[in-house]
A and B are shown apart, each in its own frame.
Chain A
Amino acid sequence: METIRMIGEISIGILILIGALLSALSAFGLIRLPDVYLRSHAASKSATLGVLCILFGVFLYFMLDLEHVSVKLLLGIVFVFITSPVAGHLNARAAYRSGVPLWKHSNRDDLKIALKKEQEQEQVESEK
């Protein structure tokens, strides 16, 4: 019994430490990367995984030590996992549509062509 408790404690500690490391990494990505889109890449992915690791570690802690299975925590995990990438997508889309420039060394922009085509189509439809 004592060994199982120790293994659980070690794995919980490792999970939470990994989560905090990933959160710190995403914060460093926020200041180091040169452009809104690259920063959104760093912030939405690694911050989500970091928070999920921390929440899962806390869930395991409550389950093993306090014998309390918390459905609220599971619901929080699912909710953060679903909504965080959606929020990142909406923000990057708003940034592109309001004309925030790309990094000066990025050399390929497929969305520009598609957006121009869409705008031309809208113009044709409004002229009809």
Chain B
Amino acid sequence: MFDTIMLLTMCMLSISIVIALYRVIKGPSIHDRILALDSIGYIVIGIVAVLSIMLDSHAYLETILLIGILAFLSTVALSKYMEGGVVIERKSDD
């Protein structure tokens, strides 16, 4: 019963990744693509968590934290690039 629920969860998360990929490919503006990639990152976090239940091990829990941090950093960097044109600003020498 429990294993069936985990398999069902895995299927639903995979389907939502496919749906979000549709938005990444088609999205009219670049901001849609950034948004969809960000939400794919969060779904991948959920997949790793469910996988660690299915395999009964707590060796993959660092990965959850790591993917969360990487998704946040990449979204911030891309948004900053799209808004101002630079990611890291230079110091003005006056």
Per-position binary interface string of chain B over residues 14-31, scored 1 when its CB falls under 8 Å from any chain A CB and 0 otherwise: 011101101100000101
- CB neighbours (8 Å) of A95 from chain B are 29, 31, 82
- Choice from B2, B19, B36, B83 contacting A98 with Cβ under 8 Å: B83
A68 to B29, CA, bound (A): 45
- The reply to whether A91 and B79 form a contact with Cβ atoms under 8 Å apart is yes
Instruction: Say whether chain A's binding surface is mostly helix, strand, loop, or mixed.
Output: helix
Number of A-B contacts (CB under 8 A): 160
- The reply to whether B9 and A17 form a contact with Cβ atoms under 8 Å apart is yes
- CB neighbours (8 Å) of A30 from chain B are 19-20, 23, 35-36, 39
Chain A residues bordering chain B, tally (CB within 8 A): 53
- CB neighbours (8 Å) of A76 from chain B are 45, 61, 64-65, 68
A17 to B46, CA, bound (A): 11
Instruction: Say whether chain B's binding surface is mostly helix, strand, loop, or mixed.
Output: helix
A40 to B71, CA, bound (A): 15
Please give the residue numbers on chain A whose beta carbons come within 8 Å of chain B beta carbons, in ascending order: 9, 12-13, 16-17, 19-21, 23-24, 26-28, 30-31, 36, 39-40, 43-44, 47-48, 50-51, 54-55, 57-58, 61-62, 66, 68, 70, 72-73, 75-76, 79-80, 83-84, 86-88, 90-95, 97-98, 100
A-B contact pairs, 16 of them (CB 8 A): A9-B2, A16-B6, A20-B9, A23-B43, A23-B46, A27-B15, A27-B19, A30-B35, A39-B35, A43-B35, A55-B64, A57-B49, A66-B56, A76-B45, A79-B69, A94-B82
